[in-house]
Amino acid sequence: MISKAEPKDANAIASLVNSAYRGEYAKQGWTTEAHFVDGTRTDAAQLTDIIETPGTTILKYEREGKIISCVELKEMDGRLYLGMLTVEPSIQGGGIGKEMLRASEDFGRKQGCKSVFMRVVTRRTELIAWYERHGYKDNGERMPFKFSDPRMGQAKEPLEFLMMEKQL
Question: For 108-157, what is each residue's pLDDT tens digit?
Answer: 999 999 999 999 989 889 999 999 999 999 999 999 877 666 666 676 67
At residue 144, the pLDDT reads: 86
* Tens digits of residue pLDDT in 21-75: 765 544 555 565 556 666 667 889 999 999 999 999 999 999 999 999 999 999 9
At residue 62, the pLDDT reads: 97
What's the whole-model pTM score? 0.88
User: Domain spanning 2-167 has what CATH number?
Assistant: 3.40.630.30
Per residue, what are the HEC states of the chain?
Answer: CEEECCHHHHHHHHHHHHHHHCHHHHCCCCCCCCCCEECCCCCHHHHHHHHHCCCEEEEEEEECCEEEEEEEEEEECCEEEEEEEEECHHHCCCCHHHHHHHHHHHHHHHCCCCEEEEEEECCCHHHHHHHHHCCCEEEEEEEECCCCCHHHCEECCCCEEEEEEEEC
In the chain, where the domains are located:
2-167
